[in-house]
Amino acid sequence: MEQAPPARWSPSAALRLSAGLHLGAAAAVLASPALWPWCLGAVALNHAVLTTAGMVPRSALLGPNLSRLPPGHAARGEVALTFDDGPDPLLTPLALDLLAAQDARASFFLIGAKARRHPELVRAILARGHTVENHTDTHPLHFAAFGVAAQRRQILRAQAAIEAAGGQAPRYFRPPVGLRSPLLDPVLAGTGLRHASWTRRGADGLLSDPARILRRLRRVAAGDVVLLHDGTWRANATGQPPLLTVLPALLARLRAQGLRCVPLPGPAGGP
C-alpha cells in the first residue's frame, strides 16, 4: 500500500484567526504603544486557547482529526479498534491471536524504534490482515513541545522504519498521549499522513484492573474509534497485562451487540 502524497496545507479556521489576532495586536501596538497590555493579554489568551485545544485529543481546532469513523462505517455497525505503543514481543503476538479468534481486525500505531527491533512483528501484524500506523520514532512524551523540524524528524524516521519492516507505509499518525501543537498539522500535510485520535479509550496503559478498563469501554458504539495498548501496560493482580483479559471480553461484547471490528479506513473511506 503506497503512502499518500504530500498535501497542500490549509490552516484551520482557528489558526487563521490566531494569525490575524497576532498581526492585529502588532499593528495596534505600533499605532498606539499604550495599548500593549491589552494586546499582550489578547495574545496570551489566544495561546492558552490553542494550548488547551492541543490537550484535548478529540479537538479539531488545530486541524483535521479522525476521532470517529465516517457515517458509512457506522451504518454498517463497524468499530475501529486501535492499539498504541507496540510492537511488543510479549503482548503483540497474544493480541493477534485474540483478534484472530474473534475474526476481528485492527490498526496498530507503532513506535519506529520498536519496529526496527522487531520487524518480524510488523510483518506478523500485516499478515493477519491488520494495518500499521505511525506513533513517532521514540515516543517522546513532550512531542507536542517540539518544533517543526523535530516533529518531522520523529514522524519520518518512524515512517521509514515501519515501511522497511513490513512494506506498508502508514496512513495515519497519532502523537504520544494524544497531545498536539499548532505546528503538527503542516508537518502531517507535508508527509501525507492524517491525524487520528479516538472516541473511547480504556486507559489500559495506566490502569491494571481489567474491570475498570472494561467499564470505561462500556459505551462503545458503531462508528467509534477505540484505543487500547499492546506496548504499554501495568500488570494486574495476577502479574499479567490487563489486555489479555480486556480484549477477549470486549470483542465478545461487541460481537453480541452486532458490531464488527475493523482497521481505520483508507483514503477513500475503504478498509
Domains, the chain: 71-262 (3.20.20.370)
How confident is the model over 92-128, as pLDDT tens digits? Answer: 999 999 999 999 999 999 999 999 999 999 999 999 9
Nearest Cα to Cα of residue 80 among 220, 233, 267:
220
Q: What mean pLDDT do residues 265-270 have?
A: 65
Please report, for residues 47, 145, 265, the alpha-carbon distance to residue 133 in angstroms, rounded to integers and kept in the order given: 30, 22, 12
What pLDDT is recorded for position 134?
A: 98
What pLDDT is recorded for position 43?
A: 47
Q: Which residue has the higher pLDDT, 115 or 270?
A: 115
Query: Pairing relation of β-strands 107-110 and 131-134?
Result: parallel
pLDDT of 152 higher than 70 = yes
What pLDDT is recorded for position 1?
A: 45
pTM: 0.87
What pLDDT is recorded for position 8?
A: 66
Is residue 139 part of the annotated active site? The answer reads no
- Stretch among 53-67, 163-177, 180-194 having the lowest mean pLDDT: 53-67
- Average pLDDT along the chain: 87
pLDDT of 24 higher than 50 = yes
pLDDT of 158 higher than 90 = yes
Catalytic residue among 73, 84, 88, 118: 84
How confident is the model over 122-151, as pLDDT tens digits? Answer: 999 999 999 999 999 999 999 999 999 999
The answer to whether the beta carbons of residues 241 and 248 sit under 8 Å apart is no
CA gyration radius for the chain? 20
Q: Which residue has the higher pLDDT, 100 or 14?
A: 100
Residue found by looking up cell 523540524 in the block: 149
How confident is the model over 43-80, as pLDDT tens digits? Answer: 466 555 545 554 577 788 888 999 999 999 999 999 99
Q: Which residue has the higher pLDDT, 88 or 40?
A: 88
Catalytic residue among 118, 130, 139, 229: 229
Which string of b and e fits 86-125 if b means at least 16 CB within 10 Å?
Answer: bbbeebbbbbbebbeebebbbbbbbbbebbbebbebbbbb
Is residue 229 part of the annotated active site? The answer reads yes
